[in-house]
Chain A
Amino acid sequence: MLKTEYANNILTAYIDGEIDHDSAVKIRTQVDGAAQSLKPRLLCLDFSGVSFMDSSGIGLVMGRYRQMKLIGGALRVVNIPDRMYRLFAMSGIEGLGVLR
Chain B
Amino acid sequence: MNTVNEMSLSFPSKSCNEAFARSAVSAFIMNLDPTINELSDIKTAVSEAVTNCIVHGYRRVGGTIYIKGKITDTGKVIIKIRDKGCGIEDVSKAMEPLYTTAPEEERAGLGFAVMQSFCDKVRVKSKVGSGTTVTLEKTIAPHNA
Question: Does the CB pair B18–A24 fall under 8 Å?
Answer: no
A6 at the interface (CB under 8 A from B): no
Assess whether B40 is interfacial by the CB under 8 Å rule: yes
Sorting the interface of chain B by its residue count into under 10, 10 to 19, 20 to 34 or 35 or more gives 20 to 34
Min CB gap B127→A, angstroms:
24
Determine which of A22, A54, A91 lies in contact with B48 in the assembled complex, contact meaning CB atoms within 8 Å: A54
Given the interface pairs A20-B18, A54-B48, the reply to whether A83 lies near B40 with Cβ below 8 Å is yes
A23 CB to nearest B CB, Å: 8
- By a beta-carbon cutoff of 8 Å, the part of chain A in contact with chain B is 18, 20-22, 24-25, 28, 52-56, 58-60, 62-63, 83, 86-87, 90-92
Partner of A58, one of B15, B54, B110: B110
- Which residues of B are at the interface with A, using a C-beta cutoff of 8 A? 15-16, 18-19, 22, 36-37, 40, 43-44, 47-48, 51, 54-55, 97-98, 105-108, 110-111, 113-114, 117
Q: Which residues of A contact B43 (CB under 8 A)?
A: 52
Main secondary structure on A side of the interface with B: helix
| Chain A residues within an 8 Å CB radius of B107 | 55, 59
